[in-house]
A and B are shown apart, each in its own frame.
Chain A
Amino acid sequence: MEIGPIWRAMMRNKTGAILIALQIAVTMAIMVNAISIMQEKDRMMSRPSGLDEHNLFSIASVGFAKDFNERVTIEEDLAALRAMPGIVNAIQSNAVPLSGSGWSMGLQTEPGAEIDGTGVGLYFVDEHGLDTYGVNLLAGENFSASDVAWRERAATEWPDKTIITRAMAEAMFPDDWASALGKTVYIADTQPITITGIVEKMQGSWPGWDGFERVMLVPTHTLFGATVYLIRTEPGMRDSVMPQVEELLADRNKDRIVRSMRSMDEIRERSYRSESSMIKILTFTIVLLIAITSLGIVGLASFSVNRRTRQIGTRRALGASKLVILRYFMTENFIISLGGVLLGAALTVGLNILMIETFSLTRITWYLVPVAMLLLLAVGQIAVFGPARRASSVPPAVATRTV
């Protein structure tokens, strides 16, 4: 290989090479950090919810008439829904997981207003809750019908049982999460509540909250005027059941309106909308940067092939084969790109440190750096191939013909 002379010749015309190397370095730094952000968003989005998501949907019911009997409406709605073909189970609740709205409370192992509780997302459900969500009960038992109380909006009393997620149990009893079962903890500072069950996994209402996986269920029907039904269908039946349910609820009782019917998939999609658009924008940015860098490489290489046409002819006359000429330009690009990606590696880490400090981003996974280096080296070789081939087809007669 003629790396020595290629390098020395390049050092006589370094401006273009340095600019391209810098462009490669900046592309790499932005690319790797963008990929790192995308990975973080992707990890966030791909956390399992524990729910039977594809077969779940929710629909809101809001009473408006003066003589609207909410309790009877709920009881009749649930009976009708649970009897409907294609529906596995249904509950009435205060909120839907992942939806962005819900309740949170604090639970504490000792009573007292001065103690900080562990934050937890809260859902009011009845004994059909676990089956409707499709969550997996690890320990303890489900609520029974007799556990379920009716609660007005202004009420301050809490039932004496709760089922919590394993993540909540781990947060409260870090040494042994399983020991949470049967423990009495305190809600609203002083009211005792016994943990009668632990479910494997469930998610709360706010994906961005660090207590997202800490959830408690309490056996309660709410009488808040507005409510939401969460409905689980047989696999594959959701889309056909949804319009039937909307019609059924609207027809059954004219004293309320039904609205906001959404599948769990749609709720998830809406909930992570900013994350997924961020991923799209970053992907677009990366593609654009790589395209611009490739064009820069093609431009520089074409310029230098044109500038050196006579020299190429001379080299061919002196015995260089086409392959040798091709290799010359590929090697030249490799040297420039290698400089670019080495600088890029340093720049990537620097940018990452800056992003960690200013945007509390996570550290890039180490392998992204070598992978990006290889990728950009490959991009360089592909981009330079066209101009290099053109160089290799410069005829040797150019040596004597051009003046």
Chain B
Amino acid sequence: MLSMQNISMVYRADLVETHALREFSLEVKEGEFVSVTGPSGSGKTTFLNIAGLLEQFTDGRYELDGRDVSALTDSECSAVRNEKIGFVFQSFNLIPDLNLFDNVDVPLRYRGFNSAERKRRIEKVLETVGLASRMKHLPSQLSGGQQQRVAIARALAGEPRFLLADEPTGNLDSQMALSVMELISEINRSGTTIIMVTHDPVLAEMASRNVHILDGRVSNGDQETTAEPLLSQVATA
């Protein structure tokens, strides 16, 4: 359902050209949970941004759900992001001036759902992440782990096909990281395709497949991971 062929991404500043991705190719099938690892600066975020239609790539071919993405206009990209893709960011990116309810509401309003439908979905996803009782709280009144749960709820509320997460546990201590990871795994089990960037090899092992990026290229040829045993290892640790 996600197919990248020979994608390259070049950032041009005045004199410097940065090749963030070089001939990057990847296929992700429906329902997969792919972890993306690699050293800092290797192009993980760039890949995720392109996959999530947040950035245009320089060269190559990218099809999402069988559709050539390069033909989409800016507002069509917005609509695709809104309907098909859920984002989870390293620093949560909740809107600090809005309470949890309104935060989860943001993408649903862009979707054009009526208020009853929005309310139903918001309550349901906040229930899923275990924060239904805090609906009127501001993000600043929550712990980091709770904030990331709200962000996940916000990503799920529109029932996207894809969840893209860039270092979702990067700002969390290991306890919180683990509970967020469990949540993400559970989301994957209920059918959502997940691509998660992480620099933590242990967390990467929880995915069904790992892609290692080095210098803008896939370096490990899509290794299958041994997700289940590791997850239970960590959980009992």
Provide the residues of chain B in CB contact with A4, threshold 8 Å. Answer: 102
Provide the residues of chain B in CB contact with A66, threshold 8 Å. Answer: none
A320 within 8 A of B: yes
Provide the residues of chain A in CB contact with B53, threshold 8 Å. Answer: 396
6 contacts between A and B (CB under 8 A): A315-B95, A317-B93, A321-B74, A396-B54, A399-B87, A400-B90
Q: Which of B82, B91, B99 contacts A319 (CB 8 A)?
A: B82
A324 within 8 A of B: yes
* Residue interface mask B142-164, A partner, CB < 8 A = 1: 00000000000010001000000
B45 touches A318 (CB 8 A): no
A319 touches B89 (CB 8 A): no
Contacting B at CB under 8 A, from A355-403, are: 395-397, 399-401, 403
Return the chain B residue nearest A322 by Cβ: B74
Provide the residues of chain A in CB contact with B78, threshold 8 Å. Answer: 316, 319-322, 324, 396
B189 within 8 A of A: no
Dominant SS among interface residues on chain A: helix
* Residue interface mask B26-57, A partner, CB < 8 A = 1: 00000000000000000001001100111100
Contacts A318-B107, A321-B78, A401-B45: A9 and B97 contacting too (C-beta < 8 A)?
Answer: yes
Q: Which of A5, A315, A317, A319 contacts B111 (CB 8 A)?
A: A319
Q: How far is the CA of A324 from the CA of B74 in the complex (A)?
A: 12
- B107 vs chain A, min Cβ distance (A): 4
Provide the residues of chain B in CB contact with A317, threshold 8 Å. Answer: 52, 54, 81, 87, 93
A2 touches B79 (CB 8 A): no
B137 within 8 A of A: no
When A and B form their complex, which 7 residue pairs have the shortest distance between CB atoms, in order from nearest?
Answer: A319-B82, A9-B97, A318-B107, A321-B75, A321-B78, A12-B97, A319-B110
Contacts A5-B98, A319-B83: A324 and B110 contacting too (C-beta < 8 A)?
Answer: yes
A319 touches B81 (CB 8 A): yes
- A317 vs chain B, min Cβ distance (A): 5
A-B contact count (CB 8 A): 91
B97 touches A8 (CB 8 A): yes
Q: How far is the CA of A192 from the CA of B167 in the complex (A)?
A: 107
- B66 vs chain A, min Cβ distance (A): 21
Contacts A399-B87, A400-B48: A318 and B97 contacting too (C-beta < 8 A)?
Answer: no
Q: How far is the CA of A399 from the CA of B107 in the complex (A)?
A: 14
Provide the residues of chain B in CB contact with A315, threshold 8 Å. Answer: 95, 106
A400 touches B45 (CB 8 A): yes
A277 within 8 A of B: no
A145 within 8 A of B: no
B166 within 8 A of A: yes
- B14 vs chain A, min Cβ distance (A): 19
A399 touches B93 (CB 8 A): yes
* Residue interface mask A304-325, B partner, CB < 8 A = 1: 0000001100111111111110
Contacts A310-B93, A316-B78, A319-B81: A2 and B98 contacting too (C-beta < 8 A)?
Answer: no
Provide the residues of chain A in CB contact with B55, threshold 8 Å. Answer: 395-397
Provide the residues of chain B in CB contact with A401, threshold 8 Å. Answer: 45, 49
Provide the residues of chain A in CB contact with B107, threshold 8 Å. Answer: 318-319
B205 within 8 A of A: no
Provide the residues of chain A in CB contact with B93, threshold 8 Å. Answer: 310-311, 314, 317, 399
- B193 vs chain A, min Cβ distance (A): 18
Provide the residues of chain A in CB contact with B75, threshold 8 Å. Answer: 321-323
Q: How far is the CA of A321 from the CA of B81 in the complex (A)?
A: 10
Return the chain A residue nearest B84 by Cβ: A319
Provide the residues of chain B in CB contact with A314, threshold 8 Å. Answer: 89, 93, 95
Provide the residues of chain A in CB contact with B67, threshold 8 Å. Answer: none
